[in-house]
Amino acid sequence: MADPVIVGVDDPASTGDAADWAADEAHLRGTRLHLVHAWLWEPHQAPPSLDALRLRRAGEEALATLAERVAARHPDLEVSSGVVDSSPREALVALSAAAALLVLGSRGSGGFPGLLVGSTSLHVTAHAACPVVVFREAASKALADDDSRDGLVVGVHGREPSDELLAFAFETAQRRHLPLRAVHAWSYPLVLGPGHEFPPVYEESHVAAAESRLLAEVMSGWREKYSEVPVIEDVVRSGPAKHLVELSETHQLVVVGRHGSAEGPFRRIGSVSQAVVHHAHCPVAVVPPGWPLSRLQLGRIEHDVTTDPPTH
């Protein structure tokens, strides 16, 4: 069977929407669904206290209950669940090497209204070997309003298009019978002057037309390959993150690429993707470069985490 869709469950009581979406995706892909909760007792407090063991057992029971509820959504879907003794970051990144898709329910951290995604979700999104879909609490409304929302949005870099990103976006739209909006945002380049910057003189309509032609060229082959997917080409003079976040208010999923570097200020995820993950009003899929080859970089590493616990 194909690699599973894996859901990282932080709190089983608040991960229902992410698990439901993942179950639908696994069903459409014809693969199995695995729910995992990572539990790690502080090593300096070993052995774990009786209270800690009770908490672990409560987590196992809650996870099993969630697995049973999700299985009832698709009776023919193979659903498994398990608690692993590892940190969430280590467990989920390791599991991504053997996953088709990783789905994370995310809660804010630090008490700051603008920081809407936890550090674990950001770390996993930046290092996972497979595409990651991040659900913030606001995504619950997106799921509830699916019937009134448009389809998928994908952010396209016209001059450096990502085949992995576009393949993921088109395949997801095709599986879910949804239209796809391809967004290419542009802005005027700045010319450096002595001691200051100043914009050169451009005719906006000419630049916009050139950018539209650029996106059309990128999309032409994909339109032909996925002819059943309705495509809207959206070329806008705007910051890409700003426009994608705006569109997330009316769409079901935003798909972005992972363009950062290990040395950059935003590390491996990139500034645009990080901003969209933080602030989007619907689920966000982040596709790593080189997918599916990127998973081989992790060597499908052996780990004390398994994706084959007993089925519930």
Per-residue pLDDT, 296: 44
Q: Supply 275's token pair.
A: 């901003």
pTM: 0.83
Give SS3 for 267: coil
Long-range Cβ contact pairs of 219-224 (< 8 A, separation 24 or more): 219/156, 219/182, 222/166, 222/170
Of 287, 214, 280, the closest CA to residue 245 belongs to: 280
pLDDT tens per residue, range 285-299: 999 988 875 444 444
Ordered by where they begin, the domains of the chain are: 1-130+292-312 (3.40.50.12370), 145-283 (3.40.50.12370)
Q: What's the average model confidence in pLDDT over 6-30?
A: 88
The mean pLDDT value of the chain amounts to 81
DSSP-derived secondary structure letter, 78: -
Return left, alpha or beta for 110; rule: phi > 0 is left, psi -120 to 50 is alpha, else beta: left
pLDDT tens per residue, range 176-235: 999 999 999 987 665 555 555 555 556 778 788 989 999 999 999 999 999 999 999 999
pLDDT tens per residue, range 240-286: 999 999 999 999 999 999 875 545 444 568 889 999 998 999 999 99
Of 101, 93, 140, 81, the closest CA to residue 120 belongs to: 93
R_g over Cα of the chain:
21
Q: Supply 71's token pair.
A: 């299985």
Q: Supply 304's token pair.
A: 């004390």
